[in-house]
Chains A and B, each alone.
Chain A
């Protein structure tokens, strides 16, 4: 009798987990109130794109969606790009995303922003995170647990253009003296992250995509020791690596104007410059120009919305 009570309790719990999972999925769709919902919606939006129309996919943490301006890539070279990067993303999370891409798109290039590779994670912690992600996929309530925020927050739409986030504020970094100071030291990349990165490369190659690693300019996140480590690691993986921190002459980043938060992330200005530098890299990958192609009308339309918005920003900055 006692055991049957416990079994009843656990069965009830499982039923409620499923019920809440369904509820959270329903509420999260179309809402951007909770953090999880916003994260969720980027992937949903990506999956809803016309099949096999995206040429470039960008993976990474917040450095990725603040450094690649997808609309500028379209405008300048007719390249279709989508940033799947997420705030504070783990490499394991991006590995799962990379594996999901194949079902929807066949991008020619997958750009991977490298900052997440240095996120501290031991093999044990990594395995635990993987376990958490598996549970979260089985019961989406764990991923969308803040779905109830939709009851409180109605209007906090974060405007993104194929994953790119337009950040308008400029908060200068005044202490850049030690940034990229020459050294022969190499910072260790955690073994678990290397394992997950290898998974990304494997998934992309299986999907016919070419992987390119890049480091977005950031005084807070990059150093020469990281550059050295990434150069060696890219060679080991057999992929190209572009460090935009060592090519500041090329990008012409001005740390007084082009950063949103004192050197950590780039603002819209900085993203424009970084995108131009990456444009030159992508030009060598033989990507087609889709401007004028009827199948890509949606991009032209999205670009018009974007252009209106950035025009206002440019006017404001010029005014300042």
Chain B
């Protein structure tokens, strides 16, 4: 089962809402947990036991860690993380690791491929985060099994996140807040908006993206650029759209989940982009990888000595390098066991390190010339540069191999471009193009409003009933009519669900 299926939208979700409303507040958490495990079972069938076992294991491990102190505590945390990471590595990375070892040893090892449980990368990070919080005593080990299980398996977020922190969402998951008229209205509206982005925009663009990435040598110039930009647009529309669906569902149930996007294409630098794109993964990496590494004895001592010997700037570069390298390697590796994902992580590591290295020079330039980096021409140039960095990064991310990615990036600067051939091969006609452009314009308008601090839901609430109904009906029928589903369209799986 997936979120964009008619069964989920018209039967499963309404049934959960009705059952949730009919149940007493204290028991609503059981309804949500039952629904989450049922959803998982419908999607993964027999593999559901992996999720249930993880819930039981994490619940027990947290209590086990909480009871110990000193080295025992560290040992127990290490064991728990090793088990969680081991399960993830076994199902997701074992084949790739075996291939790598085999290549070095000159011998071929075979590892039995296992079914990758849905959302394992997401709930494993959440589980590790929870155990670390218990270990650091930021959070007491929860004695309520349902709360822990629901935190790990809440059905709207199991496929693509957001990756929540225990203290941020667990309490509201179990609070059993009633569904109110306003929560239902706002939540449904956000879900509809998310579905529209995914089904009208992203799924149409996928036709074009599939063609260009399956024949990377064939298209050059504008066609290559169009295909690369189309993938960036597809990824944003699909990922942010499905996150809107998740957030909308949570909003109906009055559950608090962290936001995953904050208008990423308004960024003026790569580091700002990562503060606005997949925010919860960035927060997780910052909290559980960056901070522990940058506050470790090795890095702190190294920083002190480097500052004495080579000065402040060199020490900053050195410390940033030591702390950022595991973050970006982890980021790349988390997406999958392929070299291009690791290269994608390293690509951003290099760019962010360049930002750190060039920072004093940039400051000097702006102070001497009097130009502002945040206004006028320089602001536009920085924005364009960031867009180019993002597009090149996503080409590396999407291409099958690193070599293919470089070929595609190189093809942008070669001719001749056959845009018409690309459009013909993707079976996108003029009307499809019209819907995609309409969708992109609407998304841009909404993002601009958000960036300017205009609260569209509050504005919507202030409108008379007739206007609200008209807008809601328009969105529903835009989704039904413009959605790329049914005859003639391929079902497009959620991109981030496979990670």
Contacts and interface: CB of A to CB of B under 8 A. Distances in A.
Interface in A139-183: 141-143, 145-149, 151-153, 156
A152 B435 CA distance: 11
B69 interface: no
Given A142-B480, A143-B486, A9 B7 contact: no
Interface residues of A, number: 37
Nearest to B430: A152
B7 A13 contact: no
A2 interface: yes
Interface in B179-205: 181
Nearest to B472: A9
Question: What range describes how many residues of B lie at the interface?
Answer: 20 to 34
B469 A152 contact: no
Contacts of A2: 181
B429 interface: yes
A263 interface: no
B434 interface: yes
Contacts of A35: 486-489
Contacts of A20: 477, 480-481
A39 B487 contact: yes
Contacts of A143: 486-487
A128 B7 contact: yes
Given A9-B469, A153-B429, A87 B488 contact: yes
A153 B431 contact: yes
A122 interface: yes
A5 B465 contact: yes
A142 B429 contact: no
Interface string B456-480: 0000000001000100110011001
B83 interface: no
Interface string B481-498: 111011111100000000
A156 B432 CA distance: 14
Contacts of A12: 469, 473
Interface in A1-59: 2, 5-6, 9, 12-13, 16, 20, 33-36, 38-39
A152 B431 contact: yes
A124 B480 contact: no
Contact of A132 (B6, B181, B472, B477): B6
Given A122-B45, A128-B5, A135-B6, A36 B488 contact: yes
Contacts of B43: 124
Q: Which of B6, B431, B477, B486 has the most CB of A within 10 A?
A: B486
A146 B483 CA distance: 8
A86 interface: yes
A317 interface: no
Contacts of B465: 5
B1 interface: yes
B351 interface: no
B105 interface: no
A36 B7 contact: no
B486 A124 contact: no
B463 to A, nearest CB: 14
Contacts of B431: 33, 146, 148-149, 151-153
Given A2-B181, A131-B6, A145 B430 contact: no
A19 to B, nearest CB: 10
Contacts of A141: 480-481
Contacts of B485: 145
B110 interface: no
A35 B5 CA distance: 19
B10 interface: yes
A284 B45 CA distance: 46
Given A5-B465, A149-B431, A152-B430, A142 B42 contact: no
A154 B88 CA distance: 52
A201 B107 CA distance: 51
Given A6-B181, A35-B487, A128-B1, A145 B480 contact: yes
Query: Taking each of B431, B469, B485, B490, which has the highest tally of chain A beta carbons within 10 Å of its own beta carbon?
Result: B431
Nearest to A125: B1
B238 to A, nearest CB: 19
A143 B473 CA distance: 19
A87 B486 CA distance: 11
Interface in A55-94: 86-88
Contacts of A131: 6-7, 11
When A and B form their complex, which 4 residue pairs have the shortest distance between CB atoms, in order from nearest? A35-B488, A152-B431, A128-B7, A132-B6
Given A2-B181, A128-B7, A145-B486, 5 more contacts: A38-B488, A39-B487, A128-B6, A145-B481, A146-B488
6 contacts: A5-B181, A12-B469, A131-B7, A141-B480, A149-B431, A152-B429
Interface of A: 2, 5-6, 9, 12-13, 16, 20, 33-36, 38-39, 86-88, 122, 124-125, 128, 131-132, 135-136, 141-143, 145-149, 151-153, 156
Interface of B: 1, 5-7, 10-11, 42-43, 45, 181, 429-431, 434, 465, 469, 472-473, 476-477, 480-483, 485-490
